Amino acid sequence: MSVHQHCWSTLDIRITPNHHFAMHIPEQIKRWGPLNGISEYGGERLVGILQKLKTNSLNGSVEETIMKKFGQLQRLEQQGPDTDFVPLNKSPSSNLNRKELDQASYSKLLNHLQKEQPELRHYGEIPHPPNARVLRNYVVELTHVSWCYGMKVSKHSPNNLVYIKKGDSAIEFGKVCHILDLGDSGLHNGPLLMVNWLEPVKEENVGYEELGTFLASWNLRHLKMVHTLGFVSLSYISGLGAYVKVPAWSLECTDVTMLALPINKRVGLEPFD
């Protein structure tokens, strides 16, 4: 009765019973509930709309037909494969985290990759020559990546402070901001970490020398952020650090700093410079 009352209260509604939705049987209506909650209802309405369309002998006025759409797709496929196309045997879930880089981050990433690949081109420098290597402005951002010793590097605390060791150079420090995956482009092997560089607090004050000696005896590093971004490969990560933020005007420093402690044996075995 509720369906009939609704139809009587609204103009231009006509009940047409069929074998899909038997609206003339009250028991089925009570069991199903409103038709909008039935999964087939939206499709049935669309079928009804399509069946009312008159397309016979109207080839000139009907711009979109199945054959025209098929021909358009065939012409596009003939021009060349889509590099962003995800094969059926590959999971498309990684594309859900794709993000567009801002121009500042893109320029830093391009400059970093061009150190080893000078032929790499900016995506905006069109037209590109055939077989050109182009850095797209879309990347896949990861929340974390597996490292070693069963540990993970993350862009969230507490696993976002990393110790960086490049060859025989001194240990550097960084706070991970983003973890980027360039996919199957072949431009970089493995994830790329965007870090905010940290530097040790210098002995600027007279009383800090004794404090620095005390912190070093506990293998602690007193670091401050320099607000400079850079990119680091995962292979250069020599360790992770547990840290705690230190408010400004503390430990003989006017800036907000942090105390970092290595949390894996790989860093502890290497002497600090």
What digits encode the pLDDT tens for the residues 100-116? 888 888 888 888 888 88
In a domain, 80, yes or no: no
pLDDT at residue 248, rounded to an integer: 85
In a domain, 153, yes or no: yes
One domain, residues 149 and 264: yes
Neighbours of 221 (CB within 10 A): 22
Per-residue confidence band for 270, with pLDDT thresholds at 50, 70 and 90 = very low
One domain, residues 67 and 174: no
pLDDT at residue 272, rounded to an integer: 41
Asked if pLDDT for residue 186 goes beyond 70, the answer is no
Distance separating the N- and C-terminal Cα atoms of the chain: 85
Q: Among 22, 53, 75, identify where a domain stops.
A: 75
Containing 266, the helix (H) or strand (E) segment is helix 265-268
Asked if pLDDT for residue 6 goes beyond 80, the answer is no
Per-residue confidence band for 176, with pLDDT thresholds at 50, 70 and 90 = very high
The residues, ordered by sequence, that sit 6+ positions from 245 with a Cβ below 8 Å of its Cβ are 256, 257, 258
Q: Among 41, 75, 109, identify where a domain stops.
A: 75
pLDDT at residue 17, rounded to an integer: 52
One domain, residues 71 and 147: no
Q: Are 260 and 228 in contact, with CB atoms under 8 Å apart?
A: no
One domain, residues 234 and 144: yes
Q: Are 134 and 208 in contact, with CB atoms under 8 Å apart?
A: no
Asked if pLDDT for residue 258 goes beyond 70, the answer is yes
Distance CA 25, CA 148 (A): 65
pTM: 0.57
Per-residue confidence band for 42, with pLDDT thresholds at 50, 70 and 90 = low
When divided into structural domains, the chain yields a total of: 2
Domain membership of residue 174 as a residue range: 140-268
**132 against 80, higher pLDDT:** 132
pLDDT at residue 10, rounded to an integer: 63
Residue-wise pLDDT tens digits, 19-39: 455 556 677 667 666 666 666
Report the residue count for the chain.
Answer: 273
Q: Are 151 and 144 in contact, with CB atoms under 8 Å apart?
A: no
**215 against 35, higher pLDDT:** 215
pLDDT at residue 273, rounded to an integer: 40
In a domain, 114, yes or no: no
Strand partners, 193: 179, 232
Distance CA 41, CA 30 (A): 16
Per-residue confidence band for 205, with pLDDT thresholds at 50, 70 and 90 = low
Asked if pLDDT for residue 95 goes beyond 60, the answer is no
Q: Among 23, 57, 75, identify where a domain stops.
A: 75
Average pLDDT of the chain is: 75
Tokens of 115: 């150190």
In a domain, 63, yes or no: yes
Closest listed residue to residue 257, CA positions, set 212, 218, 213, 217: 212
Most confident of 48-52, 85-89, 268-272: 48-52
Give the CATH number, domain containing residue 209. Answer: 2.30.30.490
Strand partners, 175: 161, 196
Report in angstroms the alpha-carbon separations of 216 from 193, 210, 237: 28, 10, 21
